Structure 1
Amino acid sequence: MTTDRPTVAPPALPAPRPAPPGPGPAAAPRSRVLARAFGVTAVLSAAGSALGLLRDLLLARYFGANQGTDAFLVAWTVPETAAPLLIEDAMSFLMVPAFALALVLREERPDGPDPVRQVVRATLPWLLLALTTLSLGAALGAPQLVDLLAPGLADPRLAVTCTRITAITVLPFGVAGYLAAALRAHHRFTAPAGIYVAYNLGILVVLLSCHALWGVRSAAIGVALGSLLMAGLLIGPFLRALRTAPGRAARARRSRNALVLIPLALLPVGAFTLTRQAQVFIERYLGSGLPPGTISHLNYAAKVSQLAMTAGILICTVTFPLVARALAAGDLTAARDRVEKDLGQAAAVVLLGTAFLMACAPSVVALL
């Protein structure tokens, strides 16, 4: 500030050191929100895993480990690959950051077109078209797909029938992954955490009511029904999250500019998922040439061993949207700190669970 009177400059003083960053008034509410989100996600994910375990136990009880269950598991390769690709990996890694960036832009430009609606208009129609094409392709090409996955099956007809049924899951899985990514970016975790509860409930309902009538085909029909329930569970919360002020929504509809994603970004994610699923492909391929029931035994063992991994994934499921939001806002320090904590916590959970299963495998299998 300047004045009209001459002044004597005071001696230079050292600049005060900035106070170390503290938690701030918003830190406590954010911590409570994070803890509540983790708690809800943990409870619902644990419920989904418990229902999945019950599903596998019923499969073993009703159908055992034989040629029929082998055929169903070959057909289950389609949803078993589509679920991590479309729900856990591709949609999450691509769409959570996209929606997080759109939310940051919405806060920075409150009077302009809604970036969140721009992302939806630019991506959802093309996604639905691609998913429908993939689903129809898997159903029509079921004989060739079964021959590729399990060439040693003595009678592939049941596997082909089940594959045509489970091919339906590609479309609702992709929709569920897209909607779940949008909701998690909005920090709404309850509905996305409940999708596997709905999925396994659909399977269990059909298994319990129709296993005597349809045999192992009831499991395939249950998988298709469960996938539809997953997507249906998220539609209402997604539409509520998408609502904006009437004036802004009108401007958003008139705007022709849209945030566009690069489809090639899916390639590394898809390659990662298919590489991770390579164990399943190898098991089905080699097990098809071994005595009937081999594929089923391998599957039951894999399901038990995945429990530790599922517990570790809970941590990242809740905190990944926070990392994406911090990166979109340019806060690299917060993103790095969050990633470091997640890596340590997830590694501890997975290593502890792995050690337990390796030491107690006979007792766990005998109990189940």
Structure 2
Amino acid sequence: MTTDQPVRAAVAAPGGPRPPQDGPDRGRGGPDRPERDGPPAEGPPAEEARRGFLAKAFGVTALLSAAGSVLGLLRDLLLARYFGANQGTDAFLVAWTVPETAAPLLIEDAMAFLLVPAFSLALVLREERPTGPDPVRQLVRATLPWLMLVLAACSVIAVVGAPHLVRLLAPGLADPQLAVTCTRITAFTILPFGVAGYLTSALRAHHRYTAPAAIYVAYNLGILALLLTCHAVWGVRSAALGVAFGSLLMAGVLVVPFVRGLRATRRPRRPCGPAGDSLVLIPLAILPVAAFTLTRQAQVFVERYLGSGLPPGAISHLNYAAKVSQLAMTAAILIVLVTFPVVARALAAGDLTAARDRVEKDLGQATALVLMGTAFLMACAPSVVALLFERGAFGPHDTAVTAAVIRVYGLGLPAQALIGVMVRPYFSIRPVVRRADDPAATGRTTLLDWYPVGAMALGLLVTVAVGVAATPRLGALGLAAGNAAGITAAAALLMRGLLLRGIALRLPRVLGGQARLLAAGVGAAALGVPAAAVTADPLLSTLLGGTAVILAFAALGTALGAPEVRGPVLGLLRALCPPSPPAAEGKLPHGR
């Protein structure tokens, strides 16, 4: 069979439609015990239950993701304290390119783009045909073993080819042999990362969020354990070993919940139904998703390549700045992680209106959170970097350079949030798994399938052009400027692509909301800068600047009519100042 032919997974499911569940327990499942058919989707009570479900899921995800982010920040603090910003950390960061590339491909982006829609479609088919072979279990048998074989082969190739990889990524590196050693260690993360991404996608599609949210807690605990105990003996190699160990812990957290979930869905075997009740795997549909993720990640490759020719420490400054900048993205990413299965389920059921409404809400909410975080970084970058990193081998010069890079990086953070929201429904329209009776269930891809790749490629060209032009004069700042310009160009193109794909965003409404939020963010940053400059103490400066930014963003967003800001602000005010109850009718005031 050629690669153009779809691979069929017999997932027949004869039987009638499932009766509605109207009992008193409907809608009471938590993030790890959802109802069988997911969060409710119709009617005012069901909409309220859906919001409650999403709120609980977001709360669980936010709590564990915040813990993972804190541990990740502690990891970066220890890297800065033990090794500073020098040729040793540059070598490790070049080796870290392997897990940095594998994580988006296998956990955060490509694997989720492929498998959340696939499992969502299997779940829709399960609900339509509740008897016969389980589509979810059939999908797992058809995909997981092959995935593990491919990932194991990729890991071996990365280990063997580590010297060539280092020369390709950073030809001007001061200590290439150390980078090769660290790359061979981090190459072992490919297999556990892939397993973790697969299990995470399956669990989220089932609306189970606790275990997937805990993976970065386990990952960073593994890195910290090796850093704390072995840094004096193995130097920066201890960080690479910690990355490999943490990836094993990451996959281990998910195995038990996944196996338990599969066992809970066993049902009696029945004869297979008609061919239209089966799912079809489209192998070539993987290619645009993987190419998009690699092209997006290529911005890091450009930075490492051009940065290797700068003075030692430049790559490290870019890395520390990127880690701090990404903190502004955390809450926005959590929104997308929680709502993506909802969007994918709506698209699998053919409800384009519900998917569009959810995407529009996600665009507004994610942008609001990112712009508030960006305004904070613009105002408080020097004090934040000094507070976090300026100790041990990390000196005042490193603080100044890193803070400047953060402010330039911040210009591209809103575009990163928009891309994170838009690309998920884009790839869910034509998922890697489709119904057998779907006219699109062929082994071919279309030019429109490759549109996100083209958008990111054009953005990458902008990144390269700006970086090459600006780096000789501005150094690391030029690379950061190229990153911000390229990702912004790609976001604009991808919004156009979402319309072409069939999700009819109401552009005047979306762009008007984005403009209001941008104005609030610019105003908040402008007011936060003088507030942060009142004192030289890093902690006090961060607190003053952060408070000014939050209050200004809330006030400006409410005054400008941004619903993503006005709703929470008015809700908070009502909670703090509840209206007094009206006097009972027919009663005179006391004493009259």
TM-score w.r.t. length of structure 1: 0.90
1:344 is matched with: 364
* Structure 1 residue 245: Cα displacement: 5.7
C-alpha separation in 2, matches of 1:331 and 1:258: 21
Cα distance between partner residues in 1 of 2:42 and 2:215: 37
Identify which of structures 1 and 2 has the higher relative contact order when contacts are C-alpha pairs closer than 8 Å and 6+ apart.
1
* Offset at residue 112 of structure 1 (A): 1.6
Contact 2:137 2:262 in 1 (8 A): yes
Q: Give 3-state SS (helix, strand or coil) of 1:152's partner.
A: coil
| 1:299 correspondence with 2:319 | yes
1:269 Cα deviation from its structure 2 partner: 2.0
Structure 1 residue 283: Cα displacement? 1.9
Whole-angstrom CA distance in 2 between matches of 1:350 and 1:159: 34
Give, in angstroms, the shift of residue 69 of structure 1. Answer: 0.7
Q: Which position in structure 2 is the counterpart of 1:103?
A: 123
Q: Hey, what's the Cα distance between the residues in 2 that align with 1:199 and 1:173?
A: 10
Aligned partners of 1:44 and 1:193 also within 8 Å = yes
Contact 2:133 2:267 in 1 (8 A): no
Alpha-carbon distance change, 172 to 351 in structure 1, aligned in 2, over 3 angstroms:
same
Task: Check conservation: 2:218, 2:249, Cα contact below 8 A.
Answer: yes
Aligned counterpart in structure 2 of residue 90 of structure 1, from 110, 115, 118: 110
Tell me by how many angstroms 1:154 deviates: 2.8
Aligned counterpart, 2:87 = 67
Q: 1:232 and 2:252 equivalent? A: yes
Inter-partner Cα distance in structure 2 for 1:65 and 1:252: 63
Which residue of 172, 175, 197 corresponds with 1:177? 197
CA distance in 2 between counterparts of 1:81 and 1:343 reads 25
Residues 1:106 and 1:278: Cα distance change in structure 2 (over 3 Å): same
Q: 1:199 aligns with which of 219, 234, 246?
A: 219
SS, match of residue 243 in structure 1:
helix
- The C-alpha deviation readout for 1:53-108, integer Å capped at 9, x for no partner, is 11000000011111111110000000001101111111111100110110111111
Counterpart in 2 of 1:355?
Answer: 375
Q: What do residues 174-219 of structure 1 show as CA deviations (whole Å, max 9, x unaligned)? A: 1101000000000000000111111001000110111111110000
Alignment match of 2:236 (pick from 198, 216, 227): 216
Matched residue, 1:128:
148
- Does residue 50 of structure 1 match 2:56? no
* 1:324 maps onto 2:344 in alignment: yes
CA displacement at 1:139 relative to structure 2: 0.6
Q: Is 2:60 aligned against 1:40?
A: yes
> In structure 2, how many angstroms separate the alpha carbons of the residues matched to 1:346 and 1:305?
15
Instruction: Give 1:117's match in structure 2, choosing from 118, 130, 137.
Output: 137
Q: Write the distance in 2 (CA, Å) between the matches of 1:22 and 1:318.
A: 19
Shift of 1:221: 0.3
Task: Judge which range, 344-353 or 229-238, deviates more.
Answer: 344-353
The ranges of structure 1 where at least 4 consecutive aligned residues each deviate by more than 4 angstroms after the TM superposition are 244-247, 250-253, 255-258
Q: Which has the higher helix share?
A: 1
Asked whether the equivalents of residues 131 and 267 of structure 2 are also in contact (C-alpha less than 8 Å), the reply is: no
Partner Cα separation in structure 1 for residue 270 and residue 84 of structure 2: 59
Moved more, 325-334 or 69-78: 325-334
Distance of 1:43 and 1:145 partners within structure 2: 37
What CA distance in whole angstroms lies between the structure 2 residues aligned with 1:154 and 1:321?
45
Partner of 2:402: none
For 1:81, give the aligned amino acid: T
Change beyond 3 A, Cα 1:124–1:276: same
Deviates more, 1:215-224 or 1:307-316: 307-316
For the residues of structure 2 that align with 1:252 and 1:28, how far apart are their CA atoms? Answer: 39
Q: Confirm whether residue 261 of structure 1 aligns to residue 270 of structure 2.
A: no
Q: Which residue of 2 aligns with 1:4?
A: none
The answer as to whether partners of 1:114 and 1:252 remain within 8 angstroms in 2 is: no
Which one of the candidate residues 176, 191, 216 is aligned to 1:156?
A: 176
Which whole-Å deviations, capped at 9, do the CAs of 1:284-310 have from their partners, x for residues lacking one? 112222222221111111111111122
SS of residue matched to 1:26: helix
Per-residue deviation, 1:274: 2.1
* CA deviation map 1:150-187 (0-9, x unaligned): 11113311100000000011111111010000000000
- Secondary structure (helix, strand or coil) at the match of 1:112 reads coil
8 Å CA contact 1:119, 1:260 repeated in 2: no
The structural deviation recorded for 1:29 is 2.8
Stretch of structure 1 that moved more, 328-337 or 173-182: 328-337
1:7 aligns with: none
Q: 1:246 to 1:237 in 2, by over 3 A?
A: closer
Q: Matched residues in 1 for 2:102 and 2:210: separation?
A: 22
Distance verdict in 2 for CA 1:234–1:144, change over 3 Å: same
Q: Note closer, same or farther for the CA distance 1:209–1:252 as it changes in structure 2 (3 Å cut).
A: farther
Distance 1:155 1:208 in 2: 24
Would you say the 8 A contact 1:152–1:288 is kept in 2?
yes
The percentage of aligned residue pairs carrying the same residue is: 80
1:303-324, Cα deviation, whole Å (9 max, x unpaired): 1111112221110100000111
Instruction: Give how far 1:246 is off.
Output: 5.1
Segments of structure 1 that go 5 or more residues without pairing to the other structure are 1-20
**Residue 460 of structure 2 aligns with which residue?**
none
Distance 1:303 1:77 in 2: 14
Cα pair distance change 1:212/1:97, threshold 3 Å? same
Structure 1 residue 258: deviation in Å?
A: 6.3
Farther-moved stretch of structure 1 (217-226 vs 102-111): 102-111
1:140 and 1:219 map into 2 onto residues whose CA distance is: 20
Structure 1 residue 347 displacement after superposition: 1.0
- Higher mean alpha-carbon deviation, 269-278 vs 345-354, is at 269-278
> Which amino acid is the alignment partner of residue 179 of structure 2?
A
SS of the residue corresponding to residue 165 of structure 1 reads helix
1:14-40 deviation digits (Å, cap 9, x = unpaired): xxxxxxx97344333322221100000
Most deviating of 351-360 and 302-311? 351-360
User: For 2:186, what is the secondary structure of its paired residue?
Assistant: helix
| In 2, Cα distance between equivalents of 1:196 and 1:252 | 42
Q: Does 1:270 align with 2:259?
A: no
Single out whichever of 324-333 and 36-45 deviates more from structure 2.
324-333
Is the Cα–Cα contact under 8 Å of residues 189 and 247 in structure 2 kept in the other structure?
A: yes
Q: Distance in 2 between matches of 1:199 and 1:260?
A: 34
The 1:347–1:246 alpha-carbon spacing in structure 2 relative to 1, beyond 3 Å, is closer
Q: Secondary structure at the match of 2:279?
A: coil
Distance 1:271 1:239 in 2: 31
